[in-house]
């Protein structure tokens, strides 16, 4: 099939590249010329496993085209995916202006054949209806609006696109639903040729529902996962007060299949480009409808406070003496396996420590380049753990990078000035000989 993807970010690029590698022709439309130029040369705009590989392969096969021009793509496409950003407005609502602007541009090029307009961006409930109204108002061509939320994780984007847990399709047109299912057929039936890893030996469930339910499924999924994390962080804070160990508590409750052991890691709380934005947007959306979402409010509050509780531990250990203390921060991305710094607890902690007069050196396996653009000039960027911790008064761990889990504390102990570790992700299992501060243990 011929497919257009509007927006070449994490979601758009992953979706488009996977569809291209399954044999479709994919037109990527984006407003960012510089990004498109570098994509044309096979260079992705962010770090994400397998993206560069798939990009180079599909460029060579001439299955992907990058353009700023809707007229080059829409008239040729049967399916158009909208994958643009929906950032937060100051009011806390999701800003759908990029979605609506893409829709206006798409509608100018709709012709005789019916085009499926598939919304993948995370949008407030009711957006698909708004999109429909907008195009009908403009009276341009035939189209069906489908909602097809995305559940991929950064750091696993391609893997999650090939092997999703489920595919959710919201629409009220049987033919358009069947058409989209056909496009996804190799993924649903797991019949694609092995590209990056093995196929699953089961079919992927497809949930067909209304646009509104599909839109809410996306928010509800992220809200539930964020709730699990805030819940375990609250229990971790209780564990600290009563002398229990949250790692054992999480293991003990996670064995109950009704609870499950995933997303029960206590630490600095959730960050990134999705949970913080989506939780606030859902909270605001529900609030606007007149219902007071007390649980969501608490989930957000626990998370907002979690990184500051951790910071307080550091301040308490050093008393008033943080000025001129040398501190190594290991991990600056919002989680391991990505170079994304958006809403990163590590960034916030570094900024606070700098404002308290500490001298910071950081190391992150992937995010140093982005760190330079975001962090104060005074922060030292180091290309190894060893360089970062040299002659420091404390080490702070903010992500679960594999390198941090396996670092040799005995060796590092000889490089530091003081053997103090603040472990924001509870990844150190044997801190013998170190003054150790975790979360909830």
Positions in the binding site for ligand UGA (CB under 6 A): 122, 150-154, 222, 225, 229, 263-265, 267, 269-272, 274-275, 278, 334-335
Question: Which tokens is 296 given?
Answer: 């969501």
Question: Which tokens is 415 given?
Answer: 């490089």
Backbone dihedral region for residue 26 (phi beyond 0: left; psi -120 to 50: alpha; all else: beta): beta
- The answer to whether 354 and 378 have CB atoms below 8 angstroms apart is yes
Nearer to ligand UGA, 141 or 271 (CB): 271
Nearer to ligand UGA, 176 or 279 (CB): 279
CA 424/CA 332 separation, integer angstroms: 12
Block residue for tokens 């806390």: 92
Nearer to ligand UGA, 186 or 267 (CB): 267
**Shortest distance (Å) from residue 334 CB to ligand UGA:** 5
Block residue for tokens 């009908």: 136
Nearer to ligand UGA, 153 or 387 (CB): 153
From the list 388, 263, 406, 401, the residue with the least C-alpha distance to 329 is 388
From the list 303, 305, 304, 325, the residue with the least C-alpha distance to 314 is 325
Buried-exposed string 406-440: b where 16+ CB fall within 10 A, e elsewhere: ebebeebeeebebbbbbbbbbbbeeeeebebbbbb
**Shortest distance (Å) from residue 379 CB to ligand UGA:** 20
CA 220/CA 208 separation, integer angstroms: 16
274: annotated active-site residue: yes
CA 101/CA 333 separation, integer angstroms: 31
Max alpha carbon distance in the chain (Å)?
Answer: 74
**Shortest distance (Å) from residue 124 CB to ligand UGA:** 14
Nearer to ligand UGA, 76 or 221 (CB): 221
The one catalytic residue in 11, 82, 119, 274 is 274
Instruction: Output the DSSP codes for 78-118.
Output: SEEEE----PBPTTSSB--HHHHHHHHHHHTT--SS-EEEE
Nearer to ligand UGA, 74 or 82 (CB): 82
CA 174/CA 159 separation, integer angstroms: 29
**Shortest distance (Å) from residue 417 CB to ligand UGA:** 29
**Shortest distance (Å) from residue 205 CB to ligand UGA:** 16
Backbone angles phi, psi at 107, to 5 degrees: -65, -25
Nearer to ligand UGA, 168 or 420 (CB): 168
State the first-to-last Cα distance of the chain, in angstroms, to the nearest integer: 54
- The answer to whether 55 and 44 have CB atoms below 8 angstroms apart is yes
**Shortest distance (Å) from residue 267 CB to ligand UGA:** 5
Q: Give catalytic residues, as residue numbers.
A: 274
């Amino acid at each position: 099939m011929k497919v257009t993807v509007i927006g070449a970010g994490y979601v758009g690029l992953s979706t488009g590249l996977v569809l291209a590698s399954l044999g479709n022709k994919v037109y990527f439309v984006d407003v960012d010329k510089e990004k498109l130029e570098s994509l044309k040369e096979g260079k992705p705009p962010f770090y994400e496993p397998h993206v560069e590989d798939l990009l180079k392969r599909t460029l060579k096969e001439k299955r992907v085209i990058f353009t700023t021009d809707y007229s080059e793509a829409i008239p040729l496409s049967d399916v158009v995916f909208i994958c643009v950003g929906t950032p937060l407005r100051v009011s806390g609502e999701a800003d759908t202006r990029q979605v609506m602007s893409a829709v206006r541009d798409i509608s100018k090029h709709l012709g005789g054949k019916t085009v499926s307009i598939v919304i993948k961006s995370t949008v407030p409930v009711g957006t698909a209806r708004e999109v429909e109204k907008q195009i009908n108002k403009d009276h341009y061509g035939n189209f069906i609006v489908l909602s097809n939320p995305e559940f991929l994780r950064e750091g696993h984007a391609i893997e999650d696109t090939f092997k999703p847990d489920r595919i959710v399709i919201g629409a009220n047109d049987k033919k358009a639903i069947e058409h989209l299912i056909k496009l996804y057929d190799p993924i649903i039936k797991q019949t694609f040729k092995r590209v990056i890893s093995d196929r699953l030996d089961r079919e992927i469930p497809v949930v067909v529902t209304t646009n509104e339910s599909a839109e809410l499924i996306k928010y509800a999924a992220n809200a539930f996962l964020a709730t699990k994390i805030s819940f375990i962080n609250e229990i971790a804070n209780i564990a600290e007060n009563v002398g229990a160990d949250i790692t054992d508590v999480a293991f003990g409750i996670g064995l109950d299949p009704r609870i499950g052991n995933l997303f029960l890691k206590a630490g600095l709380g959730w960050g990134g480009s999705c949970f913080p934005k989506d939780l606030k947007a859902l909270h605001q959306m529900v609030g606007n409808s007149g219902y007071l979402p007390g649980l969501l409010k608490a989930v957000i509050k626990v998370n907002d406070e979690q990184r500051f509780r951790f910071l307080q531990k550091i301040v308490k250990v050093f008393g008033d003496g943080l000025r001129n203390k040398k501190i190594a921060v290991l991990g600056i991305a919002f989680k391991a396996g990505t170079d994304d710094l958006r809403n990163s607890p590590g960034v916030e902690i570094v900024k606070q420590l700098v404002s308290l007069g500490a001298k910071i050196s950081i190391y992150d396996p992937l995010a140093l380049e982005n760190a330079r653009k975001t962090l104060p000039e005074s922060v030292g960027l180091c290309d190894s753990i060893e360089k970062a911790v040299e002659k420091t008064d404390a080490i702070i761990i903010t992500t679960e990078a594999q390198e941090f889990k396996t670092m040799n504390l005995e060796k590092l102990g000889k490089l530091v000035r003081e053997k103090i570790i603040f472990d924001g992700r509870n990844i150190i299992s044997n801190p013998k000989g170190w003054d150790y501060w975790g979360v909830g243990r």
